[in-house]
């Protein structure tokens, strides 16, 4: 479970860590450098004292789409797309240095969606040409991870054609451009974020991708050969939160990290998953598989206590 934190944590938040409710924390809101460094130090210490190192995540895509306004990338992905691969690589290297110094393990970037006219992602995408997006995204991934911060390709299998934000609306999309995700997987990206949109051409049931075994396991893990960590988009968005069994359903699809942007929703998800696991050997097996992948990521990050 990944819960959100928008300000320095209170004792109640540390209690959830000690109780094993959280395996990761996504830092949301806006943070000064001293606040961030002090908070990540305390969070890492709390995880280790409880016997399970935490993953600390942040959305640091670039330009306006970044939580740490004092850290790079200064340009949006769209601007980097126009500046080229060398500049993109340099910004990713600088981003890794800043995030690692701030105690961050995972950057929920880059966006690897190829933008279509009218797409809501706008400047968050590297551009409208799939081959160029793949080149730029793979350069970003390699440079960021060379600096010790895990990169995240998002939003599989693609939101480039979406005209409405899936954090607010139910979205059904046609077949999407998949070449860039192949490039970043070949580049060794450590995480892939799965979207909350539905793709009837890829899964005829029309369920959101985050709950789709054909999309997550058959396509991403099977056809594309991805062996890293799969993380959900926000499970407290309108579409997924309507499912009472959302955490177990996502794990069954092949997801490893369950991400929430609301602490209340994260707690409710934890309670539901705990009950489902107690009742179902299948859910327990899915949790075990997910835990093994997350532990492998922690070893790569050298976050063992």
> pTM of the full predicted structure?
0.96
Contact residues for 216 (Cβ-Cβ < 8 A; gap 6+): 194, 209, 210, 230, 253, 254, 255
2-301 homologous superfamily:
Glycoside hydrolase, family 3, N-terminal domain (3.20.20.300)
Contact residues for 34 (Cβ-Cβ < 8 A; gap 6+): none
Give strand ranges (E) for 82-194: 106-107, 150-156, 191-194
How many angstroms separate the CA atoms of 140 and 123, rounded? 16
Retrieve residue 120's tokens: 């809501």
Retrieve residue 18's tokens: 């000690």
Retrieve residue 29's tokens: 């809101």
Q: CA-CA-CA-CA torsion for 302, 224, 88, 293, nearest 10 degrees?
A: -20
Give strand ranges (E) for the chain: 2-5, 24-27, 55-58, 60-62, 65-66, 106-107, 150-156, 191-194, 229-232
Q: What are the sequence ranges of the domains in the chain? A: 2-301
Retrieve residue 99's tokens: 């995030």
Nearest to 26 by CA among 15, 39, 38: 39
> From first to last of its 305 residues, what are the pLDDT tens digits of the chain?
999 999 999 999 999 999 999 999 999 998 999 999 999 999 999 999 888 899 999 999 999 999 999 999 999 999 999 999 999 999 999 999 999 999 999 999 999 999 998 999 999 999 999 999 999 999 999 999 999 999 999 999 999 999 888 777 778 888 788 999 999 999 999 999 999 999 999 999 999 999 999 999 999 999 999 999 999 999 999 889 888 899 999 999 999 999 999 889 999 999 999 999 999 999 999 999 999 999 999 999 987 77
Per DSSP, 54 falls in state P
């Amino acid at each position: 479970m990944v819960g959100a934190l928008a300000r320095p944590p209170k004792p109640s938040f540390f209690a959830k860590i000690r109780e094993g409710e959280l395996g990761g924390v996504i830092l949301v809101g806006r943070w000064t450098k001293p606040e961030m460094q002090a908070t990540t130090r305390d969070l890492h210490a709390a995880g280790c004292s409880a016997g399970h190192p935490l993953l600390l995540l942040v959305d640091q895509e670039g330009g306006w789409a970044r939580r740490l306004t004092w850290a790079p990338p200064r340009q949006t992905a769209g601007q980097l797309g126009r500046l080229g691969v060398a500049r993109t690589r340099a910004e990713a290297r600088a981003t890794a240095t800043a995030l690692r110094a701030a105690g961050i393990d995972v950057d929920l970037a880059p966006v690897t969606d190829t933008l279509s006219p009218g797409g809501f992602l706008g400047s968050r995408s590297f551009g409208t040409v799939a081959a160029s997006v793949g080149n730029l995204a793979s350069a970003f991934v390699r440079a960021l991870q060379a600096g010790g911060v895990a990169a995240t390709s998002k939003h599989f299998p693609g939101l480039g054609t979406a005209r409405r934000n899936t954090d607010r609306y139910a979205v059904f999309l046609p077949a999407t451009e998949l070449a860039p995700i192949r490039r970043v997987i070949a580049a060794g990206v450590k995480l892939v974020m799965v979207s909350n949109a539905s793709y009837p051409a890829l899964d005829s049931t029309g369920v959101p991708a985050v709950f789709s075994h054909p999309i997550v396991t058959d396509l991403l893990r099977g056809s594309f050969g991805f062996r890293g960590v799969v993380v959900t988009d926000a499970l407290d968005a309108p579409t997924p939160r309507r499912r009472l069994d959302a955490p177990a359903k996502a794990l069954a699809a092949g997801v490893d990290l369950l991400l929430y942007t609301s602490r209340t929703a994260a707690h409710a998800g934890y309670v539901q998953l705990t009950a489902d696991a107690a009742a179902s050997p299948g859910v327990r097996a899915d949790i075990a598989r997910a835990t093994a992948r997350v532990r492998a990521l922690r070893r790569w990050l050298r976050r063992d206590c």
